[in-house]
Structure 1
Amino acid sequence: MTPMPAEAPAAAGGPQSLPFSDAASCKLWLEQVLHSSVTDCHGALFHAVGQLPRSPLRPAVKLESLELMRETVALVQFEHARRCRGKPVPLDAGERAVWESVVALWQAMAAAYESLIADMAGAAPELAGAAPLVCQRALRYTGLAMAEHGRAYHAVTGALWRQLHRLYVFAESAGIATTEVGDAVGRFEPATSCAATYVRALLAQQAQPDALTLQQMGCVEHWLDRWERLVEVSPQPPPASAIPALAVDLTSSKGIGFAKDMPATGVRHLHLEALARTLRHAAVALKQGRTPAELGLGDLPADACEKLLLLLNIQWCAAGTGRLDERTPSGIRVMIFPSIRSIHYHLTGRPFRQPGGAGQGEPVTLTQRSEAMETWLVVNRSVSGFLGLSRDPRTATRVSHSQLLGLQAPATKNLYLGIVQRLVVDEDGGIWAGMRLVPGIPQPAAARVADIATADPDAVKFDRALLLPEDSPRRIPTSIILQPGWYQVNRILDLHTGPAQKIRLRMVLDAGPNFERAGYAVIGS
């Protein structure tokens, strides 16, 4: 479930509860509040921002105070949000409380700036000259609230979409949509406008954050600093093309869609030609040997950067036409095994034992048993993957992006492995996970680092591993799935599947928060 739009906190003790009375005292207060803990500082900022719209301060002082608070808000939000960004879903109670408070402060900032738009039409017509800046700030903080949903793998609410569209409609009607303003807070390129900030929010969501890692989301945010002004928002459609045109319905509760599906009025078309050229040129430059850093694309490895550019080109400029497999509806239920431990336990049917050891294996924990009992619904499937759904509020399985899962339909004996490629919690609390199937039937094994010199007895113990056969059609070698942190190129492992073997790890094929998958070669027994 997603938080309700933030409301300003109720005034405690009336206007005097605002901790400052003008811009100078606001600056002093901000210096003092930074000496408190992150949690206390966050609460103080939320209280002050929420009080501003109803305070008796002159609108010009409110605007100046909000501008002074922006750097501090950005810093505190970043530190506070570390506790919830990228965490497995469903969030636990503490993580959820932090996430809701982070979203609430972004929304409170947007509401405070939007309240100044109303002041311009009433008590403060002198603020009209600041209208482009005020509206851009309200759009920016609305976009940040939306982005915070993505970083926690939650769907953006319809209320946030309506707020974003409403603010852009005001900018258009006031004739200020393309007026340039400066915004250096949390950005590498300060020059922007209301239209560019609106485009930024649209494109950030069209990039499908449910399919991105936190690092990839950060790259997209960085790149949009430079690319947001390449897209024109217009009532007129772009030139005819083989690629379906994209547009946005300003009266809707959602983002970008196909122009052909839009109503006759209230639609704005996206002219993406300049952005498409930029993406193509960047991809070509990478293939020619230039580094991402040289192209202003950050410090991603070149291959990862190229893959992300391709994904963005598909989502932004090719109307999401990258899917190769036909998906068919399904309604089967599958058992979910969320860790190597639970997968191994299910495959062997017994507690893990050290190879060659005598006596009983490890005691089976309650967690292992419960992990082996949870069921999800497969909504649709293709040759390469599944879309799974869990609507049980009591779900014990917390799922991360890129996590390895075991899946088994009750009517079949074989267990399959999948890697979570898409992850989102909808507004009703349902967890949707798109999984890419790993070809082959996994086999249980035990592995340890060979010839390790240590006095720590635990370091020389075997641990659970999974083996996958060679996939010749896809040119994927025989591989082993290990606990995270085990892989090192050319590392030698003792492998036990019955007869003892030694293997040499050769390359990483996949990795996620709960596993590493590596190709290997047998070097002896």
Structure 2
Amino acid sequence: MRSFLNNLFSKDVSPLENPRQVNAWCKKLELADPQAQRQKVAAVVNAFLADKIKPEPAVLQALIRIDESVQMGYERIRYQYVSNPRMPKEIEQSLWQDITGLADSMVKAYLSFAKVEADGEEKQAYDAMMPLVLARCLHYVGILAKWHYFRFDRVPAQLWSQAHSLYRLSEIDGFDCNPFPLYPHHGAEVSSCADEYIQLLMLNTVSSNNLSVRQLDWVDQWLDKWSRNVLIARRFQPDHHHYCVNLSGKQGPEKIGDDSQGDPYRYWGIYELLNEVQGLIAKLESGTSPANLGLGNDVRGPACLELLKHLDVFWGMAVRNAQFTRSDRHDVSKEADVVNGLDRLHRKVRSDNERFTRQPDEAKTGVDYDEVMDMRLYGFVSARTRSRQAQAPQIVQRTEAPDWQSWRVENESEGGYGATLEVAGAEWVRPGVMIGMRFGPDDSWKVCVVRRISRMNEFQIYAGLQLLSATPVAVSIQTTSTTPAPPRALEVTDFEAFDSAALHTMNSALYLPYEVDGVTTNTLLMHSANYDADRTYDVQARERHFTVSLGRSLDKGVDWTWVTVQVLSQKH
């Protein structure tokens, strides 16, 4: 009975008010379920912030211990959120607030000690704990940023200012790169203020890539290790750095520009990071499992490989300094048909080529493709083209069932378009994805690449598109062992739509005339699986065959590669 009354009327004393009891309190906490653990710790921390308990080293040590005791339960709550993307809205809202609420409270509690002015032994005690305090603050800021990305929200400017200030403090005190275990249950893994900061910055670079919650979480987990391959520098090195951040600003990382100079800016390159990603891709393709590569036990091979290839493409654009020239845009209001995938686009372009090349004069419904090529090459329509058109049988156009999406184009320029699309059905849209686009059934299909996207709201995405070619030609290719012959110049009119009978033995590709350094160059857009820089290829364009060698790579996506070509010989 006495024990019952003692338990009934005893007051649960906060371990921050009595730091000597913190270990006993934390052992009792371990018996609770994850949600109860979070609630108890949140209550203690919020009470500390409200009651204005005097900061002192013993209280900070107790806070560090409490933080450690809740981590495994807190990680389970975060995993619950990530692994249930289709949970009811009420549950999602509750979990989101639970996760971000604790993170925000922990940052505020830790920062209350970072502002303490102390002397003597007390200062020495604070100085010894401050690297861990700032690193954990940056870790929690990273959690807050990631949960904003999950909702496709912008990271608040105040949060960026806080992150920059935390890293700047670690620089001033000279321990920004000092390694240490962030939490005991992480084992031998070490981190630092710089590692936590660069992980936050690099996750932001892919936050607008239309990745799913699970994909963003995978990238964040991988960056926990990859961040060690990135070094933040004060001085800009043009041949090595690709991103920068303004420590006095209120935004995240940005591309390096002419005005990105001065003391507030920090710079970093991602060569080593990309080498890590490319090495993992090679190992996965050779049959190694993601778990054996340290990519996570719940990560599946095909999805993991696709995501790594996307990161390789997206970050590779930064390495190549892919600053695509943007022409002046003007507002329009158009509906565009859009298809994705090289094979599907190849069929559309082939149909265009046949329609514009093989129709007699009386059946034409658009611009004759051969005539356009003749005018571009000679300045007049050749007799050979007119003779071939006169002899060609009339083609009856089939009505095809729509297999494309509809996007609303809101602006256009000489080099591309800006379009709005619905989130539903657009999970595949990423920077670096190749698409075909046309404005109505009488228009020909154009080849475009998605260069940037941003989530407008829960239901819509804005995509910036670069136009690669408005006059592609469908061809087929296969590797050959033919002995190379001296190269010759290739004319645009050498390419015509090829016969579909050869499709079963050939690989689809697109010929794109493209201007490089003011000179029109022969290029091929091909499947990455078919790309081999050391081999020669047979290119079939209807009844004509060419042997070509591949030149330099102009660009690449997850499943396509765009290269210049040299014609070595022509088969008659």
Q: TM class by shorter-chain length?
A: 0.5 to 0.7
Q: In structure 2, how many angstroms separate the alpha carbons of the residues matched to 1:182 and 1:224? A: 16
Measure how far apart 1:379 and its partner are.
5.2
Q: Deviations for 1:14-50, whole angstroms, at most 9, x for unmatched residues?
A: x997455334423333344455565554333222123
Q: Name the stretch that deviates more: 301-310 or 86-95.
A: 86-95
Alignment match, 1:47: 43
Q: Deviations for 1:93-146, whole angstroms, at most 9, x for unmatched residues?
A: 553243133112112112222222112557941211222112111111111211
Q: Is 1:161 matched with 2:160?
A: yes
Alpha carbons of structure 1 residues 240 and 80: separation in structure 2 relative to 1, 3 Å: closer
Q: What TM-score, normalized to structure 2?
A: 0.53
Q: Name the stretch that deviates more: 193-202 or 183-192.
A: 183-192
Alignment match, 1:260: 257
> What secondary structure, in the 3-state scheme, does the structure 1 residue paired with 2:310 have?
helix
Q: Is 1:100 matched with 2:97?
A: yes
Q: Deviations for 1:451-481, whole angstroms, at most 9, x for unmatched residues?
A: xxxxxxxxxxxxxxxxxxxxx99979xxxxx
Q: Deviations for 1:192-251, whole angstroms, at most 9, x for unmatched residues?
A: 11111111111122232652223322322332232111111011123426xx82111112
Alpha carbons of structure 1 residues 172 and 43: separation in structure 2 relative to 1, 3 Å: same
Alignment match, 1:197: 196
Residues 210, 455 of structure 2: 8 Å contact kept = no
Q: Deviations for 1:411-434, whole angstroms, at most 9, x for unmatched residues?
A: 999xxxxxxx999767xx675435
Q: Is 1:433 matched with 2:461?
A: yes
Residues 141, 163 of structure 2: 8 Å contact kept = yes
Structure 1: 5+ residue runs without aligned partners?
1-14, 335-374, 391-397, 405-410, 414-420, 438-471, 477-525
Q: Deviations for 1:247-302, whole angstroms, at most 9, x for unmatched residues?
A: 11112222111111544321001032322322232233334443333333335444
Alpha carbons of structure 1 residues 80 and 274: separation in structure 2 relative to 1, 3 Å: closer
Q: Is 1:74 matched with 2:40?
A: no
> What secondary structure, in the 3-state scheme, does the structure 1 residue paired with 2:103 have?
helix
Alpha carbons of structure 1 residues 216 and 189: separation in structure 2 relative to 1, 3 Å: farther
Residues 332, 378 of structure 1: 8 Å contact kept = yes
Q: CA RMSD in A?
A: 4.7
Q: In structure 1, how many angstroms separate the alpha carbons of the residues matched to 2:149 and 2:18? A: 36
Specify the structure having the higher radius of gyration (Cα): 2
Q: In structure 1, how many angstroms separate the alpha carbons of the residues matched to 2:210 and 2:440? A: 29
Alignment match, 1:112: 109
Residues 176, 194 of structure 2: 8 Å contact kept = yes
Alpha carbons of structure 1 residues 38 and 194: separation in structure 2 relative to 1, 3 Å: closer
Q: In structure 2, how many angstroms separate the alpha carbons of the residues matched to 1:34 and 1:377? A: 54
Alpha carbons of structure 1 residues 132 and 83: separation in structure 2 relative to 1, 3 Å: closer
Alpha carbons of structure 1 residues 63 and 20: separation in structure 2 relative to 1, 3 Å: closer
Q: Is 1:211 matched with 2:210?
A: yes
Measure how far apart 1:147 and its partner are.
1.6
Measure how far apart 1:400 and its partner are.
9.5
Alignment match, 2:245: 248
Alignment match, 1:293: 291
Q: Aligned runs of 1:305-316 on 2, under 5 Å?
A: 305-316=304-315
Determine which structure has greater relative contact order: mean sequence separation of CA pairs < 8 Å that are 6+ residues apart, divided by chain length: 1
Alpha carbons of structure 1 residues 268 and 326: separation in structure 2 relative to 1, 3 Å: closer
- Identity rate, percent: 21
Q: Deviations for 1:129-166, whole angstroms, at most 9, x for unmatched residues?
A: 22211211111111121122223433322111111111
Q: In structure 2, how many angstroms separate the alpha carbons of the residues matched to 1:256 and 1:49? A: 31
Q: In structure 1, how many angstroms separate the alpha carbons of the residues matched to 2:91 and 2:62? A: 31
Q: Aligned runs of 1:229-248 on 2, under 5 Å?
A: 229-240=228-239, 245-248=242-245
Q: In structure 2, how many angstroms separate the alpha carbons of the residues matched to 1:138 and 1:19? A: 21
Q: Is 1:279 matched with 2:277?
A: yes
Residues 236, 268 of structure 1: 8 Å contact kept = yes
Q: Is 1:402 matched with 2:461?
A: no
Q: Report the residue type matching 1:175 in the other structure.
A: G
Alignment match, 2:220: 221
> What secondary structure, in the 3-state scheme, does the structure 1 residue paired with 2:266 have?
strand
Alignment match, 1:30: 26
Measure how far apart 1:85 and its partner are.
4.2
Alpha carbons of structure 1 residues 168 and 89: separation in structure 2 relative to 1, 3 Å: farther
Alpha carbons of structure 1 residues 425 and 210: separation in structure 2 relative to 1, 3 Å: same
